[in-house]
């Protein structure tokens, strides 16, 4: 299995195409190559640049092309997609609004129009991706209560993907990822049902809908999966002491997120258990062009055991850098 994940794109289709081509996801024409099984984008496609319409249209084209080739695109809503759905347009350029034709046309396209429909249908707030088809399907739930006994050897052979991060104290880590995604779907539906609000600025900040529940407010809060920065900014001892608890609750071995940029590199912490992939790809930031690439094999041996190998690389224009290279023998787990 081969997957590629890319962080924040922020309105720059030129650099987005360069990164996906560099990582082997698309060819020089921007079409799906078929050389990867999964492409994951962790949100914040919108804002800071002018290519919103083109980027979201391209993501939907890739989704169709991937499915025809037996692959899959997993897309996530970042805090900036949610800001725009709420009516918080602080990072929207006037030139980007012009690509829609008007403020009203932009509001419509981001709600009942094709971008809004894509967000509701094809985007989630969180994903869980098993590393082998025999270990489950993308976004199959992991519930710790169902694994009260010692987990099977490969029960946690999966990655989590969110935009911001899964805080240790966040109340809706389980079952993962459906508990988070149900909240996201219900909050998005309430935003779409609300009468259009004048964008902020210059209008006052509209906030969440009046009927948003406490749990929906928490989803969008500082410690929710859209805004949390603790894994990126916390001290090494602190984050490495907390990460295993979250991995256990979500049935994963590594967590991947964007949101907090490092303009020079993809950041791997705690032996690669935490992978932060926002490198400021957009020209708005001028960061390094980078993608995360994972190659995973699970091969049966003659004695009935299995050999698992997992290689995680940061892919740059200058070449790949190995972040994790682990091999282990696994008893017959079937």
pLDDT of residue 146: 62
**Domain residue spans in the chain?**
2-330
Q: Please identify every stretch of the chain with a pLDDT value under 50, giving residue numbers as ranges.
A: none
pLDDT of residue 260: 98
Residues 189-235 have pLDDT tens digits of 999 999 999 999 999 999 999 999 999 999 999 999 999 999 999 99
Per CATH, the number for 2-330 is: 3.60.21.10
Token pair for 146: 């169902």
Residue with structure tokens 């990460």?
A: 243
Contacts for 270 with CB less than 8 Å, ≥ 6 apart: 236, 239, 240, 243
User: Phi, psi (5° rounding) for residue 293?
Assistant: -125, 135
Q: How far apart are CA 315 and CA 19, in angstroms?
A: 9
pLDDT of residue 152: 76
| pTM of the shown model | 0.97
| Sheet with 123-124: strands ordered across | 123-124, 72-76, 38-41, 2-6, 290-300, 306-316, 319-330
Residues 121-131 have pLDDT tens digits of 999 999 999 99
């Amino acid at each position: 299995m081969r997957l590629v994940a890319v962080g924040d794109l922020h309105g720059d289709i030129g650099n987005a195409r360069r990164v996906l081509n560099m990582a082997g996801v698309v060819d020089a024409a921007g079409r799906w190559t078929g050389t990867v099984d999964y492409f994951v984008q962790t949100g914040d496609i919108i804002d800071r640049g002018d290519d919103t319409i083109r980027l979201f249209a391209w993501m939907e084209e890739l989704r169709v092309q991937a499915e025809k080739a037996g692959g899959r695109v997993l897309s996530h809503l970042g805090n900036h997609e949610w800001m725009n759905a709420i009516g918080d347009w602080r990072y929207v350029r006037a030139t980007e609004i012009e690509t829609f034709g008007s403020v009203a046309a932009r509001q419509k396209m981001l709600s009942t129009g094709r971008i809004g429909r894509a967000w509701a249908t094809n985007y989630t707030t969180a994903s869980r991706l098993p590393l082998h088809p025999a270990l489950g399907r993308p976004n199959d739930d992991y519930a710790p209560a169902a694994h009260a006994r010692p987990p099977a050897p490969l029960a946690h052979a999966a990655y989590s993907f969110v935009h911001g991060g899964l805080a240790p104290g966040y109340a809706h880590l389980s079952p993962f990822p459906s508990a988070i995604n149900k909240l996201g779907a219900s909050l998005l539906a309430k935003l779409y049902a609300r009468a259009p609000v004048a964008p902020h600025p210059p209008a006052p900040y509209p906030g969440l809908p009046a009927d948003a529940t406490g749990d929906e407010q928490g989803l969008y809060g500082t410690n929710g999966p859209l805004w949390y920065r603790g894994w990126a900014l916390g001290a090494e001892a602190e984050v490495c002491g907390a990460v295993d608890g979250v991995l256990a609750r979500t049935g994963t071995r590594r967590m991947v997120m964007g949101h907090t940029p490092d303009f020079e590199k993809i950041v791997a912490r705690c032996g690669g258990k935490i992978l932060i992939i926002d490198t400021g790809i957009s020209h708005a930031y001028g960061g390094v062009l980078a993608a995360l690439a994972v190659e995973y094999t699970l091969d049966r041996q003659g004695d009935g055991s299995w050999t698992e190998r997992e290689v995680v690389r940061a892919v740059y224009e200058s070449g790949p850098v190995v972040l994790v290279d682990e091999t282990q023998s696994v008893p017959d787990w079937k």
